[in-house]
């Protein structure tokens, strides 16, 4: 089933709300102030049953210039617009501004409704109709049908319904495409149910029970129930007006302009790469870093425009820009937006998002402009390759969907083509995707880093994994870095140790001759000291080693198992520790327990050495302290 959304547009008091009531029987003015003033202030909602059985949602937008931002909050997701023009007044200022907005948002299907024909004579109506055709000339609605109606008498409403049915029959189905995304245009609370948000589902299929989040605030929630046109439904599809009852969320935490999304499907951003068009009717050039009001989805966000290839944008021109948002938002590739001047508030331009999560750009960079051209006009394969090449870590297919703005099926097909061409490499059974050039670059960087590390620290078993990741690959998550290392180790040149990595050709067993002599000297000092070794500091001094070099040698002997460190101050030769262990075991097997004094005599040592050695045996659970005595620990 195709889901349709129809929106109104037009000057204040041209009869949009009355027209909807005449078509549907529903009065969309729900606020007391709207009733008293006779104008729409907030968005209004209704539904229309078409002759062929389809049901279309209708969004009634305010016409007054003070409420254009409210109009923008609801107009973005519509399939067909009814441009309402009062026959007694003709084209008016808000008619023009609303029409500019329709063109900027790419809304190309429409019907012009000449309303209030009961107030004018035939000659006047002909003049207004000619004026309307001239107004539409050269625009997206040139050639659109013009239907003459009186919302008061009902004249022409049957013809209008027939025209709506005909125009909407061509609308393609967009249900189910992409991840769930619902720009929120209304938030309220219902007694007994809780928080309810409404909007037009921009993409995806939303189901009862789904886990969702409110972006960019990252508020988790669950879909308790769904309604479309006051009827409870188990799911809603792309393009459908929907009210979502959310569990686990306070209504006060959500604002118009927030977006309900599938969990993890979108990333908040404060930058958007875009192509911007400045309306010919804009009264002055747009200067670099001008402050504007960005209308994206249902949100209004104060932003600045960074012109990437010029200092000023003249009316009627377009260029690549980076929008610098003063608050976080989310967007998708291809999203349309409108900009209004900061003060006074007038619609001055709009465009579409090219990259929803771009890096920061410098101006007048040929490479940046080339990248944006590819993102905007390139084939899916070119766009996917561009995102892969720019990635600082391996990406998932989901990352590519988010980064490119393409749907999952298109990304999958593009990746298959790139893999066949050798442009893309797959890690972990295809879970992670890497541009082949990046793979080669990352591999070379690891090889160089390890070679440099081995030259600097020839006695260490390898470069600590986490240290290498944080220093050389800070953009990698720990998990993805370890996955890359696993793939590289299969090639044979990389050895993975539990906590470090090394070049396979490297071995601490064959250090440079100079280091080997120092190791042998330090080992001899401990061997000759036997049960009465010097402190670590004394041993390094006796070996003629500086602190840094001495610690390297000491840790090498400890890793090899040549020495055993019993506490911060003392090390023993491993053979000496084993000899002490054997003597103590024999003593305890025969007598059952022994004191520190007996250990001292047994080892022909002193309490200074016997005590740390006994405490070491306690820690490794060879012995156990009972009062002042030691016994064999039970296994």
Q: Are 108 and 46 in contact (CB under 8 A)?
A: no
What is d(CA 375, CA 275) in angstroms, rounded to the nearest whole number?
A: 11
- Residue for token pair 């609308």: 171
Task: Give per-residue pLDDT as tens, 198-228.
Answer: 888 888 899 999 999 999 999 999 999 998 8
The pLDDT, as a whole number, for residue 72 is: 53
Q: Which of 470, 457, 441, 572 is nearest to 511 (CA)?
A: 457
- Residue for token pair 């659109």: 144
Task: Give per-residue pLDDT as tens, 5-30.
Answer: 888 888 877 888 888 888 888 776 54
With helix as H, strand as E and coil as C, how does 470-513 read?
HHHCCCCCHHHHHHHHHHHHCCCCEEECCCEEEECCCCCCCCCH
**With a cut of 50, which residues of the chain have pLDDT below it?**
30-42, 63-67, 71, 73-74
In 201-331, beta strands by DSSP E: 205-207, 211-215, 219-228, 231-233, 235-237, 241-247, 259-262, 269-278, 286-287, 290-296, 299-307, 312-313, 318-329
The pLDDT, as a whole number, for residue 622 is: 94
> Which domains occur in the chain, in start order?
4-168 (3.40.50.300), 181-262 (2.40.30.10), 269-368 (2.40.30.10), 378-509 (1.10.10.10), 513-632 (1.10.10.10)
What is d(CA 576, CA 578) in angstroms, rounded to the nearest whole number?
A: 5
What is d(CA 395, CA 596) in angstroms, rounded to the nearest whole number?
A: 61
Inter-helix orientation angle 380-390/366-377, to 10°: 140
* Coil vs helix vs strand at 393: coil
First-residue to last-residue Cα distance in the chain: 72
Q: Which of 604, 601, 525 is nearest to 570 (CA)?
A: 525
Residue 318, beta-bridge partner list:
277
């Amino acid at each position: 089933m195709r889901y349709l959304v129809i929106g109104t547009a037009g000057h204040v008091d041209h009869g949009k709300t009355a027209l909807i009531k005449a078509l549907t029987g529903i009065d969309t003015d729900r606020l007391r102030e709207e009733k008293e003033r006779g104008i729409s202030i907030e968005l209004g909602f209704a539904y229309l049953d078409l002759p062929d059985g389809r049901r279309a949602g209708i969004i009634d937008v305010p016409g007054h210039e003070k409420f254009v931002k409210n109009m923008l909050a609801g107009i973005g997701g519509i399939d067909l617009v009814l441009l309402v023009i009062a026959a007694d007044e003709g084209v008016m200022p808000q008619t023009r501004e609303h029409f500019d907005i329709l063109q900027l948002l790419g809304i190309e299907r429409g019907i012009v409704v000449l309303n209030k024909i009961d107030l004018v004579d035939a000659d006047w109506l002909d003049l207004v109709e000619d004026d309307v055709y001239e107004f539409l000339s050269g625009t997206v609605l040139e050639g659109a049908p013009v239907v003459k109606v009186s919302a008061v008498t009902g004249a022409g409403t049957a013809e209008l319904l027939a025209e709506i049915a005909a125009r909407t029959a061509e609308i393609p189905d967009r249900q189910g495409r992409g991840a769930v995304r619902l720009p929120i245009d209304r938030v309220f609370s219902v007694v007994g149910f809780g928080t309810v948000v409404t909007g037009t589902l921009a993409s995806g299929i939303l189901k009862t029970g789904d886990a969702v989040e409110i972006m960019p605030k990252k508020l988790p929630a669950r879909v308790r129930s769904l309604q479309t046109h006051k009827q409870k439904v188990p799911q809603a599809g792309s393009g459908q007006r929907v009210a979502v009852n959310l569990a686990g969320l306070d209504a006060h935490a959500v604002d118009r302009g927030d977006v309900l999304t599938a969990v993890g499907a979108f990333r908040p951003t404060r930058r958007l790469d875009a192509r911007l068009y400045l309306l010919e009717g804009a009264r002055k050039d747009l200067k670099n870093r001008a402050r504007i009001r960005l209308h994206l989805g249902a949100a209004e966000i104060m932003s600045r425009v960074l012109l990437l290839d010029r200092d000023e944008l003249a009316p009627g021109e377009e260029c690549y820009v980076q929008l610098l948002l003063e608050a976080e938002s989310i967007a998708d590739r291809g999203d349309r937006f409108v900009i209004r001047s900061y003060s006074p508030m007038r619609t001055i331009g709009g465009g579409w998002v090219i990259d929803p999560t771009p890096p920061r750009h410098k101006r007048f960079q040929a490479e940046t402009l080339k990248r944006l051209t590819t993102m905007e006009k390139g084939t899916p394969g070119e766009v996917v390759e561009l995102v892969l090449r720019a990635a600082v870590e391996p990406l998932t297919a989901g990352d590519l969907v988010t980064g490119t703005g393409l749907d999952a099926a298109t990304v999958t097909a593009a990746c298959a083509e790139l893999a066949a061409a050798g442009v893309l490499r797959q890690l972990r059974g295809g879970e992670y995707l890497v541009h082949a050039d990046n793979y080669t670059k990352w591999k070379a960087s690891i090889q160089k880093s390890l070679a440099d590390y081995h030259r600097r620290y020839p006695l260490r078993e390898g470069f600590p994994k986490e240290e290498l990741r944080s220093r050389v690959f800070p953009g990698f998550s720990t998990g993805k870095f370890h996955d890359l290392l696993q793939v590289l180790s299969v090639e044979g040149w990389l050895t993975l140790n539990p906590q470090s990595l090394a070049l396979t050709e490297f071995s601490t067993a064959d250090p440079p001759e100079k280091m080997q002599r120092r190791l042998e000297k330090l080992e001899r000092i401990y061997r000759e000291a036997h049960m009465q070794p010097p402190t670590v500091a004394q041993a390094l001094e006796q070996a003629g080693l500086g602190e840094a070099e001495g610690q390297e040698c000491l840790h090498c002997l400890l890793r090899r198992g040549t020495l055993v460190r019993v506490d911060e101050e003392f090390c023993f030769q491993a053979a000496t520790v084993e000899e002490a262990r054997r003597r103590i075991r024999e003593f305890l097997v025969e007598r059952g327990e022994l004191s520190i004094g007996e250990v001292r005599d047994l080892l022909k040592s002193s309490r200074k050495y016997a005590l740390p050695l006994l405490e070491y045996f306690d820690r490794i659970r060879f012995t156990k302290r009972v009062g002042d005595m030691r016994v064999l620990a039970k296994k």
